[in-house]
Amino acid sequence: MTVSANELALELKTQALANARRNGSEGVVLDALEGASFPQRKSERWKYTSLQALADGHLNGVAAGDIAQPLPALSECVVSITNGALTGSTLPDGVSLHHESPEVNGLETPFALYNSAVARAVVLEVAANTRVAQPIHVQIQSASDAPAHCNPRVIVKLNTGAEATVIEHYHAEGQALTNAVTALITADNAKLTHYRLQGEHASTLHIGTLVIDQQGVSTVDSYQLMTGNRLRRNDVHALVNKSGAELNMKGIFVVRNKGHVDNQMCVEHAVPNCESDQNFKGLAGESGKAVFNGRIHIHPGASGTNAELSNKNLLLNAGAEINTKPELEIYNDDVKCAHGTTVGQLDAMQQFYLQSRGIAAAEAKRMLSLGFVNELLMALPHEKVAEWATPWLEAELTQASPAGADAA
């Protein structure tokens, strides 16, 4: 079924509103959803991502399937959210779980607003001056045989002086659409290490917003690893809101076989003397499509800001596509801002070298691709995560450059 983008936008809005009303939403959130304009063909922020897949009716049904291949636990502390609802939790001392969601700033997409209107938030609050040694593994899983959606909403709140590691881990099967919102809120002297692992099945859809709201002088390190599926859209909105705060984001995206990944990053510096650093690497093979929009916005008062962004990409095959746009919007002269972007291919000389040593073309390509992202994989601070992520990405890379496909 193909419908025009305009009709689809209208249809999605109708469905979202109906679902929200059925859910008993009212007040500000409903007003926001009602006022939101759903992406149309010419919406700038959705230029490279079509929502046509949603014409299958994902918003009409709610996912309720059983998870066939559940995620392995990467820690002793696990919080399970299945089809949008909390299904279990083992928490370390100093971390409490409740459902009283604080207000989340920086939500922009209509999907995030829809999530706000219907979701029951899972709030993980780390008590002041507590250092949680064990990572908290938040497993967000969904499954549905027919097109259906769910709205997981996770809020991680670090109070003053708290220190924690949170692994946000997605898994979906069948035809599920995961419409997720995650917010990380940090107070003074907090230190958060965050992982966002997205390896849902190729047939599933994911539309997610990640908000990083640094309300205090805090450090947030975020590692985002993702593979492509039928539709993956990540809106990441970081608000570096207190002088002295520091934000580091590193990420890898691999798309293959009609996979799609659209990353819309926006880092806003509103106060003086903050730092942000972003380093993302992308690989696109077969008919995969990757989008990376990295925006740094420096407000007039944010003097002394140091903001950097690097996005390097490899295009592995004909038919694959990479669209990248590193944006700078700067309203202050006393800043240091730089971004760099490249789109290229594997070095033919390096491949030749490996092949001359008797390594098959496909294997050589896989080794070099892995080498390309290795710098970021090596930087993952938790061994358990690295142990899980390396073979996962490796498998993905093997398929991204099939044997014999222009192995020049």
Partner 1 sequence: MSQAELDKLIRSNYEAGFTTQVDTETLPPGLSEDVIRFLSAKKGEPEWMLEWRLDSYRKWQEMPSPSWAHLKHPPIDFNEVSYYSKPKSLDDAPKSLDEVDPELLATYEKLGIPLHEQEMLAGVAVDVVFDSSSVFTTFKEKLAEAGVIFCSISEAIKEHPELVKKYLGSVVPQGDNFYAALNSAVFSDGSFVYIPKGVRCPMELSTYFRINEANTGQFERTLIIADEGSYVSYLEGCTAPQRDENQLHAAVVELVALPGAEIKYSTVQNWYPGDENGKGGIYNFVTKRGVAHDNSKISWTQVETGSAITWKYPSVILRGDNSIGEFYSVALTRHMQQADTGTKMIHLGKNTKSTIISKGISASRSQNAYRGLVRISPRADNARNFTQCDSLLLGDQCGAHTFPYIESKNPTATIEHEATTSKVSDDQMFLCRQRGIDPEKAVSMIVNGFCKEVFKELPMEFAVEAGKLLEVSLEGAVG
- Candidate ranges 218-226, 237-245, 329-337, 360-368; the one touching partner 1 (CB under 8 A): 329-337
Beta carbon of residue 314, minimum distance to partner 1 (angstroms, whole number):
8
Strands 336-344 and 306-315: parallel
337-366: which residues touch partner 1 (CB under 8 A)? 337-345
Q: What residues between 216 and 235 interact with partner 1 by CB under 8 A? A: none
Among 317, 368, 376, 393, binds partner 1 (CB under 8 A): 317
Q: Among residues 257 and 323, whose Cβ is nearest to partner 1? A: 323
Specify the stretch interacting with partner 1 by CB under 8 A; choose among 25-33, 178-186, 268-276, 325-333. Answer: 325-333
383 binds partner 1 (CB under 8 A): no
Question: How far is Cα 252 from Cα 224, in angstroms, rounded to an integer?
Answer: 6
Q: Is 300 in the site for partner 1 (CB under 8 A)?
A: yes
Distance CA 297, CA 238 (A): 10
Phi/psi for 228 (5° steps) reads -80, 150
Residues in 41-60 at the binding interface with partner 1, rule: CB under 8 A:
44
54 Cα distance to chain centroid: 19
Buried b (16+ CB within 10 A) or exposed e, 224-233: bbbbbbbbbb
Instruction: Pick one of 60, 323, 374, 399: the residue that binds partner 1 (CB under 8 A).
Output: 323
Of 53 and 328, which CB lies nearer to partner 1 in the complex structure? 328
Alpha carbon distances (Å) from 292 to 47, 119, 159, 210, 313: 12, 28, 32, 15, 10
Closest CA to 123 of 167, 91, 153: 153
- How does DSSP classify residue 270? -
Residues 241, 248: Cα–Cα separation, whole Å: 14
Tell which one of 325, 362, 384, 386 touches partner 1 (CB under 8 A). 325
What is the smallest separation between the CB atom of 32 and partner 1, expressed in angstroms? Answer: 23
Q: Binding of partner 1 at residue 336 (CB under 8 A)?
A: yes
Contact between 78 and partner 1 by CB under 8 A: the answer reads no
Q: State the minimum distance, in angstroms, from the CB of residue 301 to partner 1.
A: 9
Half-sphere exposure in the Cβ direction for 29 (13 Å, CA)? 23
Q: Does 40 bind partner 1 (CB under 8 A)?
A: no
Collect all residues with Cβ–Cβ distance below 8 Å to 406 and sequence separation of at least 6.
Answer: 317, 318
What totals of helices (H) and strands (E) does the chain contain, helices first?
A: 6, 18
Q: Which is nearer to partner 1, 103 or 329 (CB)?
A: 329
Contacts to partner 1 from residues 157-176, by CB under 8 A: none
Task: Point out which span in 55-63, 70-78, 225-233, 326-334 binds partner 1 (CB under 8 A).
Answer: 326-334
Binding site for partner 1 (CB under 8 A): 44, 300, 303, 313, 315-345, 406
